[in-house]
Amino acid sequence: MEPSTSSSDSSVDHCWGNLCECRDERCCLCRLFDNAIDDELANVPLTGLMPSGATVHKEFLCIRCETIPVGRIFQCHNGHLICEACYQVQVLDKMLCETLGTCPQCSVRMYRHLPNRNIAIEWLLAEMQLACEHCGTKMPRSALRSHFRGECPGRLVYCKYRRIGCPWYGRRAEASAHDAACAWPSKTGAELMELLLPIQAERDARTRVLQQIQSMVQLPNLTVRLVQVLPQGRIRKFPQNQFVAVSNLRAHAQQWSLLLKWQTPAADDDNPQAMGSLHLCLQLDPPEDWSAKLLVSYTLVHGTHSEVFFRPNYCERFEFSSNQLRGPPALVYRHTMANCKKLLLERGIYVRLLIAHIKP
């Protein structure tokens, strides 16, 4: 199938539909086409949220990311718990390696063909009563996510005139008052045309990247690796404005590092809120005597357990060598500094790395 050359989102979506038609919110391919209207980390509850004053025994925490699991919970044969997201990386991703997964705590084997769930702990944590941190409504912990997404008056929403350029977003309870006073509906057609030019340019650029990714997934010698950046607040004080190695992986017979940079706002950024960004970069870590060259194309897309929408990115035909071990950086997330901090330090990041070896 030849990639579409049209610049319209609908044509790209139609071509991609031949590759993936499930439209599952957790599918990394489908989510590339989301328009990011709900890309708001404040509308995703903290996985470790607990009743005020309550304490949870450390045996209830995921042994890998040290958060309180949500959803399905697995365990090793010695009873150590591991959340579904960490299980996917720790055990299921081992299909691509020579060895099977092991428990991060006791190193006992965890076989992907023999999943071992702890239904009792799942039920106990799911039925625990919590109060919404925004509106105070009490509910079972399992209902908190849907409440944040659609019912809570404190959830963050965008202006209904966002499609014609209004940048406002705030609490849902404040949206009606803003919509009534919003100045964008009264702007002239000429004014809107000028204001929409940069928005359209961004959409066109995004469409081109999606077309490139569509073509890439049909390449031979394509490897897909699951990458998890653990919540950095539990590991270290994360520096800003510099790349830091956050994950290691192996692909195409080479060892790689995934680097992440938390970028602070630019000096000329006139956004009403301080906007930060997260940039990812791939680095080759070859043996000391390595002198070959490796030509690859790669992209980072959503993982199954990604809680926010990452920006489409694509590196085409980059040649790694002993003199050029670090690939170009890619902007994958831009939001307020507070949201960047939550994602990086408290939530963690789940992505899939698609990397194709290109023969010269």
User: For 83-101, what is the HEC assignment?
Assistant: EHHHHHHHCHHHHHCCCCE
- Residue 325 CA to residue 16 CA, distance in Å, equals 32
User: Is there a contact between 350 and 83 (Cβ–Cβ < 8 Å)?
Assistant: no
- Residue 84 CA to residue 80 CA, distance in Å, equals 13
> What is the domain partition of the chain in residue ranges?
9-40+155-214, 58-151, 219-357
Does domain 219-357 fall under CATH 2.60.210? My reply is yes
User: Is there a contact between 49 and 130 (Cβ–Cβ < 8 Å)?
Assistant: yes
User: Is there a contact between 207 and 12 (Cβ–Cβ < 8 Å)?
Assistant: yes
Confidence at residue 31, expressed as pLDDT on a 0 to 100 scale:
52
Among 335, 295, 291, which residue's Cα sits nearest to residue 311?
A: 335
Confidence at residue 37, expressed as pLDDT on a 0 to 100 scale:
44
Confidence at residue 42, expressed as pLDDT on a 0 to 100 scale:
57
Ramachandran angles phi, psi of 155, nearest 5°: -70, 150
Confidence at residue 271, expressed as pLDDT on a 0 to 100 scale:
65
Global pTM?
0.74
58-151 CATH, one of 3.30.40.10, 1.20.200.10, 3.90.1150.10, 3.40.190.10: 3.30.40.10
Residue 335 corresponds to which tokens in the numbers above?
A: 């939001």
- Residue 125 CA to residue 142 CA, distance in Å, equals 8
Low-confidence ranges of the chain (pLDDT < 70): 1-56, 93-100, 270-273
Confidence at residue 40, expressed as pLDDT on a 0 to 100 scale:
53
Helix residue ranges, H only, 241-310: none
Confidence at residue 327, expressed as pLDDT on a 0 to 100 scale:
94
The model's pLDDT over 328-348, given as tens digits with 9 standing for 90+, comes to 998 988 887 877 888 888 778
Neighbours of 116 (CB within 10 A): 13
Confidence at residue 12, expressed as pLDDT on a 0 to 100 scale:
33
